[in-house]
Amino acid sequence: MSILFVLLMFLLIVAISQLRRPQGQPAVKPVLAAGPQPPRMQREYGFQIPEGYCFHPGHTWALKESPESARVGVDSFATNLLGKIDRIEVLGPNRWVRQGQKIMTIHAGGASVELIAPVEGVITAINSDVLQDPSLVTRDPYKDGWIATVKAPDLAINQKNLVQGAMVAPWLQNNVTRLNGMLAQTSPALAQDGGLPVGGLLGRVEPQLRQKLVKEFFL
């Protein structure tokens, strides 16, 4: 009798809890994926560098979010070169991209620039905010201006091909040195002694030089 009584009480408690739950409301609400947290920034060689980010030589970045997932975007060197962005086109979700393959096209300053994926995998989400307001990429490239998330099964291997840690600042400085060398003959006034390129530089140089800059820095 005691076992039967306990069983009946248990069933009664379950029934009451079900009745108290509003109809149509799930027991657990789904959790929406949040954007990246504001990165901690370090200043080196005159550059603000976000901690934990890995950079592709084509000036896109990857931020590891799990062992097989990364958020990707455009680095500040690229956003300064591009200046005011008019439109961004991103490959659709569920598309597989290889590391170093085109993932987006950015239209800015009369130029259309293809940027490449820093990691290999399936695009799982696209930041609709930057499609509606491309200026986010320029204003906040490492947080709200992210471009997409990628499920990358070989993320650990991909990261070995990227610039990271103590190598980021010297790599950026090398890019600035190369850029100044290309500007010296035709547009010396646009060269920078240090730090990022002049904002909107691509739209301020002759078309022939613009093509050379795109080929040199966006691979």
209 within domain boundaries: yes
pLDDT of res. 46: 82
pLDDT of res. 187: 85
Distance CA(216)–CA(67), nearest Å, equals 32
pLDDT of res. 8: 52
pLDDT of res. 33: 45
pLDDT of res. 195: 80
Rounded mean pLDDT for each run of 10 residues along the chain, 219 residues in total: 49 50 38 63 89 97 97 96 95 96 93 96 97 96 97 97 96 94 86 81 91 92
Can you give the CATH number for the domain in which 188 is found? Answer: 2.40.50.100
Domain count, the chain: 1
13 within domain boundaries: no
27 within domain boundaries: no
pLDDT of res. 35: 60
67 within domain boundaries: yes
172 within domain boundaries: yes
183 within domain boundaries: yes
Distance CA(21)–CA(27), nearest Å, equals 8
29 within domain boundaries: no
42 within domain boundaries: no
Range of the domain at 106: 47-219
